[in-house]
Amino acid sequence: MWITGLSGSGKTTISKIIYNKLKKKYSNIILLDGDILRNKLNIKKSDHFLSNSRTKVGLMYVNLCKKYIDDKKKFVIIATMSLKSKVHNEYKKIKNNHDIFLDVPMKELKKRDPKGLYKKFKNKEISNMVGLDIQFDKPNNPSLYLKWKKNLSAFKISKKIIKLIRHENTKSKNFS
């Protein structure tokens, strides 16, 4: 499951809710988060913020997901921005993929700003921010496209995603 959206869209929060709900019943689940992966894989922040590096990092995440799925037979939940067509296209090649796009308006993202990135951008402390001075590619035909609504909480979104996965995987012996 590939959960994507701009910074502050709720990727990490939602992926943690889903993971914690499903790990009680299924032992073959793993959660990967883009922020943690960048740290663990020693990806330099300065390199990561360049457009071509974002694609390279996204493709690295796709390969990591494939490895966990193919070699270790894991159900992978990954929360990452990776909003590049080349990354989306590679991810779509993974069997039984579920891509979820969290579409949150910029006004709401700036209001949330959990990492203070939008404020830093406004104050010209940082640049190369996806959605502001870097264009991004929305996924084409995601499994679930979630347009932000005021009353749509992270818990409600998580329930929708779990329902989608269970419905689409009713034949799977590892996840039904």
Please identify every residue annotated as catalytic. Answer: 85
SS3 41: coil
Please state, in angstroms and rounded to a whole number, the distance separating the CA atoms of residues 166 and 93. Answer: 20
Closest C-alpha among 45, 80, 51, 55 to residue 65: 80
Please, are residues 30 and 18 in contact by the beta-carbon 8 Å criterion? no
- DSSP 3-state helix, strand, coil percentages of the chain (rounded to 5)? 45, 15, 40
